[in-house]
Amino acid sequence: MNGSTNNSLPQNGFAPAAPAALDCRIDAAIEHKPQPLIPSGFAAKVAAHAASLPQPRRAAAFPVGRSIAWASAVLLTFALFALAPHATPSLTSLSFDVEILVLLELAGVGWGLARGPR
């Protein structure tokens, strides 16, 4: 090149397509429905390969939630026995209020245990 720039051709050397021709090419590409080619024995190959794979082992179910609920029930019962001598039945007594809350929590845990596993 001798220093002059030629802007009529892009650097890849191809002339830009006319807008109408480009629109026709885009429409043709959008309207073209591809036909998938699946080999005839593909399903049989997949089934044979799946049968040769090892079967996943199921983990033994350990009832962690129920164990924690039983432990909570025991601890809440001990808390009730510990608070009982100090609680006077009045709403201004903090130990009585805590005992009522512990009793409600124990009732909730007992209700959850009585419902059984889901």
Question: Does the pLDDT of residue 12 top 80, yes or no?
Answer: no
The CA distance from 4 to 109, in Å, is: 88
How many residues comprise the chain? Answer: 118
Contact status, residue 118 vs residue 66, Cβ threshold 8 Å = no
- What is the reported pLDDT for 49? 92
Question: Does the pLDDT of residue 107 top 80, yes or no?
Answer: yes
Neighbours of 101 (CB within 10 A): 13
- What is the reported pLDDT for 42? 92
- What is the reported pLDDT for 7? 53
Residue at token pair 């009730």: 80
The CA distance from 108 to 118, in Å, is: 16
User: pLDDT-derived band of residue 46, with 50, 70 and 90 as boundaries?
Assistant: very high
The CA distance from 78 to 103, in Å, is: 11
Question: Does the pLDDT of residue 17 top 80, yes or no?
Answer: no
Instruction: Give residues with Cβ within 8 angstroms of 112, minimum separation 6.
Output: 69
Residues 58-99 pLDDT 10s: 877 777 888 888 899 999 888 888 888 877 888 788 888 888
In the chain, alpha helices (H): 19-31, 42-52, 64-83, 94-115
